[in-house]
């Protein structure tokens, strides 16, 4: 685990709430000089603490229609190396996490309709090495702390 000091954590939190902040705004917020903020950000990027800067589209702009968590378990003797490369080729799978326990992978799938979700679920089920696929459709998002 990478050790972050208080100023690093403050910068990361500030960028998490608004990744478009200028170096000057970050400097004021952190009590550092603009050049010190710039150097810290370069260091955080090189250590892959900050992997990128992005935007989140508003609900009116980006409504996937259907959002689901898909739990995947592997066949005996299979692992992520066998399955994940196939899943990474499915654009509607927006996140993929390895888990400990009976479920091997948890996928976040965003697509337009329940029919699309069924097609994606069937596609995942036919991947060599996949034993079971359980689909959990999200009804509503109560909060989402990703990206502010």
**72: exposed, middle or buried (Cβ count in 10 Å: 0-12, 13-18, 19+):** buried
Residue 125 near residue 133, CB atoms below 8 Å: yes
Tokens of 69: 């968590």
Q: How far apart are CA 16 and CA 10, in angstroms?
A: 10
Tokens of 57: 């589209």
Tokens of 29: 């917020």
Residue 148 has pLDDT above 50, yes or no: no
**23: exposed, middle or buried (Cβ count in 10 Å: 0-12, 13-18, 19+):** middle
What is the predicted pLDDT for the residue at 63? Answer: 59
Q: How far apart are CA 100 and CA 93, in angstroms?
A: 20
What is the predicted pLDDT for the residue at 146? Answer: 64
Q: How far apart are CA 130 and CA 133, in angstroms?
A: 8
pLDDT digits (tens, 9 = 90+) for 55-91: 665 555 555 689 999 999 999 999 999 999 999 999 8
pLDDT digits (tens, 9 = 90+) for 98-120: 999 999 999 999 998 999 999 99
- Pick the residue with more confidence: 18 or 2? 18
What is the predicted pLDDT for the residue at 17? Answer: 76
pLDDT digits (tens, 9 = 90+) for 5-54: 888 888 888 887 788 889 999 999 899 999 999 999 999 999 888 888 87
Q: How far apart are CA 120 and CA 125, in angstroms?
A: 9
């Amino acid at each position: 685990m990478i050790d972050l000091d208080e100023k690093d954590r403050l910068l990361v939190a500030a960028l998490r709430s608004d990744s478009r902040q200028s170096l000057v705004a970050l400097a004021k917020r952190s009590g550092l000089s603009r050049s010190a903020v710039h150097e810290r950000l370069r260091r955080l990027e090189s250590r892959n603490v900050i992997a990128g800067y992005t935007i989140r589209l508003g609900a009116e702009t980006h409504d996937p229609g259907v959002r689901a968590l898909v739990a995947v378990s592997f066949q005996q003797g299979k692992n992520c190396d066998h399955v994940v490369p196939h899943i990474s080729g499915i654009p509607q799978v927006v996140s993929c996490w390895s888990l400990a326990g009976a479920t091997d992978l948890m996928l976040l799938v965003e697509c337009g309709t329940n029919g699309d979700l069924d097609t994606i679920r069937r596609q995942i089920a036919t991947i060599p090495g996949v034993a079971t696929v359980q689909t959990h459709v999200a009804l509503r998002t109560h909060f989402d702390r990703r990206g502010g």
